[in-house]
Amino acid sequence: MTVIELIGVTKTYDGHVTALRGVDLRVDPGEQLAIVGPSGSGKSTMLHLIGTLDRPTTGTVRIAGHDVSALTDRELSALRARHIGFVFQQFHLSPGVSALGNVADGLIYTGRPVTERRERARAALERVGLGHRVDHRPDQLSGGEQQRVAIARAVVGDPPLLLADEPTGNLDTAAGREVLDVLRGLNAAGTTVAIITHDMEVAAQCRRQVRVRDGRIVEDTRAPVPPVPLESR
């Protein structure tokens, strides 16, 4: 089943500002891609539509086979909870709460008992290389570590799709490399990863690059071999 499918998608705001113009995009399970473009290109609108945070003006958006426009708000919330994890430029961690607590909170609406939520949170932190920092609060963690906590929270429910919006935007080069390595590892384990970015160097780390300009996809390329990590150049 296709993870993401956009067919003839347009998005217009206030009746006259067109952010997307007839976008077609298909993403299969296990892909890692970058949706890349300058500010105002339409990539953030694509993020909102793919993440089911908004609906298209015209056209079809299907996530995991579900037509977004045909779902109620409650059904959309359930779709997001089951299928999509979000990582943003801002970490959105609760201050004063441990890394374990922040990640476990990602399961608070699932109905799972506290013990199970904490066990799954610990496993998610180990997946992102922070098994030794579970009791540390955000102010005791570096920027890169905080972003990895945010990634752990996004994947603690095992969503098949991870959307990362400028995930290295607030990080220095070394921390950015660590975060990209984590995303690469999650993708290697089977998670479909879409990175929304304006940074061409970040985009170059993905085998597939979807370039957006003026509300249209202007280029969609796939590298024949995996990209060389930044630290290996």
Residue-range definition of the domain harbouring residue 119: 4-232
Which pair of tokens denotes residue 195?
């990175």
Phi, psi of 72 (to 5 degrees): -75, 170
pLDDT recorded at residue 32:
96
Tens of pLDDT, residues 152-177 = 999 999 999 999 999 999 999 999 99
For residues 215 and 20, what is the distance between their CA atoms, to the nearest angstrom? 4
Secondary structure element (H or E) that encloses residue 61, with its range: strand 58-63
pLDDT recorded at residue 223:
81
Tens of pLDDT, residues 8-39 = 999 999 878 999 999 999 999 999 999 999 99
Reported as a pLDDT band with limits 50, 70 and 90, residue 114 is very high
> Exposed (0-12), middle (13-18) or buried (19+): which is 103, by Cβ within 10 Å?
buried
What is the residue whose two structure tokens read 């067109």?
A: 18
Tell me the pLDDT of the chain averaged across its residues: 93
With 70 as the cut, is the pLDDT of residue 225 above it? no
- Domain total of the chain: 1
Tens of pLDDT, residues 52-63 = 999 999 999 999
Reported as a pLDDT band with limits 50, 70 and 90, residue 139 is very high
What is the crossing angle of helices 173-188 and 143-155, to 10°?
A: 20
Rounded to two decimals, what is the model's pTM?
0.91
Q: What is the CATH number of the domain that holds 82?
A: 3.40.50.300
With 90 as the cut, is the pLDDT of residue 94 above it? yes
Percentage of the chain lying above the pLDDT 90 cut: 89
